[in-house]
Structure 1
Amino acid sequence: MTFGKLFGWALLILIAIQFIPYGKNLQNPPVTGEPAWDSPQTKDLFFRACADCHSNETVWPWYSNIAPVSWLLEYDVTEGREHFNVSEWGRPGKNEGEDAAEEVIEGKMPPLFYLPTHPEANLDGIEKQALIDGLKATFGSGNHHDEQPAASE
């Protein structure tokens, strides 16, 4: 198969997958609640590094309308909102805020694949530590090793 034919088939497939309905539900539901942030700085850092997937205030880039990228973005945002969503704070079963700081400490959040297209989420060391401290102050800590043992009677 020549390069021209291969390119033609690839282009045809790319055009055809645009008609697959998955990845077309790129919406922001209404904000129904918000945590009591410990500071405006924590909220700002969270919205810079985390809110695209963990709030109903996602900024959908232009490429979010092009399959197969749209499929990945819809999946990631749906999963992120399902586990932890600051825009639906107080809704039972929707939030795991106590684990947020630990996810950042362990380098799981934000995911590495997110950073190249979202340079604002690349926090420097001071900002990252401020975010971690703010998440702990706002949501508590999921790290149970920090807890003090109960005093014996």
Structure 2
Amino acid sequence: MRTWLTPRRLLSGALILLVLIQLVPSWLWNTNPAVVSQPTWDSPQTQALVQRACFDCHSNQTTWPWYSYVAPASWLITRDVISGRRHLNFDDWQSSLARQDRFPLDQQIQREVSRGEMPPSYFTLLHPNAALTDAEKQQLIDGMAKTVQAK
């Protein structure tokens, strides 16, 4: 039994598995639908911060990097974008406002940004320009509160 599990065979098996998982076509969901409706931004600064830190997952203007087409990263990225658009989509703004659950949208944004949950740390590792300083986080929270109130 031990002679069967040689490092060479384990490596070969891992490479074969890596090639086979490429056949799961999650990249078919890597789409950018048309813009339906956008917020009336309170300021160009708020819009710029949101575009920089949030648009890749929370809009229909996602930038799909090369690794978003390679499994298993493609599975995770596609899942995050679909989930992000479902929770808040700046390019389908009226639907996002209509889906406000228990908390108003501005409170949800404040909670997620102030806790450091958005943008996620694993995203900012690959996209350092999306990382926000504490001052930018507060500016984003304040600007989004005004934007949501303007509807």
TM range (shorter): 0.7 to 0.9
Question: Within 5 A, what are the aligned runs for 1:51-70?
Answer: 51-70=55-74
| Cα 1:103–1:109 shift into 2, 3 Å | same
What is the aligned counterpart of 1:136 among 145, 148, 151?
A: 145
Q: TM-score, normalised by structure 1?
A: 0.84
2:84 pairs with 1:80: yes
Give the stretch that moved more between structures: 14-23 or 73-82: 14-23
Q: Which runs of 5+ in 2 are unaligned?
A: none
Residue number in structure 2 paired with 1:110: 119
- What is the number of equivalent residue pairs in this alignment? 140
SS at match of 2:28: coil
| Cα 1:61–1:108 shift into 2, 3 Å | same
- The structure with the greater share of residues assigned to helix is 2
Q: TM-score, normalised by structure 2?
A: 0.85
In structure 2, C-alpha distance between the alignment counterparts of 1:118 and 1:18, rounded to whole Å: 24
Which residue identity does 1:89 align to in structure 2?
Answer: W
- Contact 1:24/1:65 (CA < 8 Å) preserved in 2? no
SS at match of 1:15: helix
In structure 2, C-alpha distance between the alignment counterparts of 1:61 and 1:77, rounded to whole Å: 13
Q: Which runs of 5+ in 1 are unaligned?
A: 141-153
In structure 1, C-alpha distance between the alignment counterparts of 2:105 and 2:51, rounded to whole Å: 14
Residue number in structure 2 paired with 1:11: 15
Residue number in structure 1 paired with 2:44: 40
